[in-house]
Structure 1
């Protein structure tokens, strides 16, 4: 969206300097709080109105892999089973060839002593060649073929949006990314405990994702190319109504 592009431009320019980086919320929005500030990675959070949960936003940059590699490694479920040790199950349940939407069932370990969590979500990706952006959006849904399993805790509230902007092109090293994320892990722990788990787990996941992209590049591993569809026609933009499972 235009707003996300503006965020990316502001953050990218601010990242070149040493001054503090802040998001300017609208009058209706809660302010963002910076909770982690590293050289190539910054993490904010803000309360979600009417709940005990937070929404998180990450801005980061990598210069040693291409946007295409980073994007493909995120989407390749079979490869993720190899590099993400927390995955118990990760399967594509349904795929819409016309729109590129996929329904995913994901089961993941949670820190002891919590039960493992499972997610059923629809994801949609879009490569915007005109604006030089890549977008991946995920959102929790219900699906008739994946009923709840008493062995896991079903996470019913989950949203994620990743925007990637190449420094040059999709196939040259270097890009910025902006990740906005929220979920309700269905835990009885206080909000500060959940916040700690997310703020420590998210950087760890992103670094594992980065390492997996580097490994795929170095070893020339076969990772599915989600940008090559046999056509120059990009998928239609993904709006909220298109993310609903029907």
Structure 2
């Protein structure tokens, strides 16, 4: 199988942990719980995600179900993870990108997102936490009102981060109950 991502792709992703590349019009949109959200202007719902073999090609199918009046969207993408050691630092990097050539039939009433990419780099913060850099882009197509995008970034994402932090803090207790 051909490589999905190059060594340079992974190197570029982990370097963001130390120096996020914010030139080119990125603006600080909001900050909460020590997390900064930047956006490049003009460039929520239930999620269904699974890995599937499409005619011998492994890819992930992800559907996001939005409330009316928005149309549902789906993604078909490939991803790869590498565990790196950089100057003695253990760094995990996950890269993903849309895969429009993957033979996955589009569903009626669902908009296919054909331009998606994401990089995540993680390492310990030296204490009991994790330092994470996430770069996410998708062109959702169709019409999404600006007010909804602003709400998601200013309220939805901070709420998600609060829930995520709570879940991580309670993970040990959760595992003990199983």
SS at match of 2:17: helix
Q: Which residue of the partner structure matches residue 138 of structure 1?
A: 96
1:67-216 equivalences under 5 Å are: 86-87=46-47, 89-94=48-53, 103-130=59-86, 131-142=89-100, 143-144=102-103, 146-168=104-126, 173-189=128-144, 192-193=146-147, 195-196=149-150, 198-200=152-154, 201-216=156-171
Q: Which residue of the partner structure matches residue 46 of structure 1?
A: 40
Mark the runs of 5 or more structure 2 residues left unpaired by the alignment. Answer: 1-9
Q: Which residue of the partner structure matches residue 76 of structure 1?
A: none
1:198-246 deviation per Cα after TM superposition (whole angstroms, max 9, x unaligned)? 514444444444444444432217xxxxxxxxxxxxxxxxxxxxxxxxx
Residues 194 and 126 of structure 1: CA distance in aligned 2, closer, same or farther (over 3 Å): farther
Paired residues, what number?
162
Residues 176 and 187 of structure 1: CA distance in aligned 2, closer, same or farther (over 3 Å): same
Cα separation, 2, equivalents of 1:177 and 1:206: 12
Residues 197 and 212 of structure 1: CA distance in aligned 2, closer, same or farther (over 3 Å): same
After TM superposition, give the deviation of residue 6 of structure 1 in Å: 4.6
After TM superposition, give the deviation of residue 147 of structure 1 in Å: 0.6
Report if aligned partners of 1:118, 1:154 keep a CA contact under 8 Å in 2. yes
User: Would you tell me which structure has more strand in proportion to its own residues?
Assistant: 2
SS at match of 2:141: coil
User: What is the TM-score normalised by the length of structure 1?
Assistant: 0.55
Mark the runs of 5 or more structure 1 residues left unpaired by the alignment. Answer: 12-22, 54-83, 96-100, 222-246
Q: For CA contacts below 8 A with separation 6 or more, give which structure has more relative contact order.
A: 1
Cα RMSD after superposing both structures: 3.1
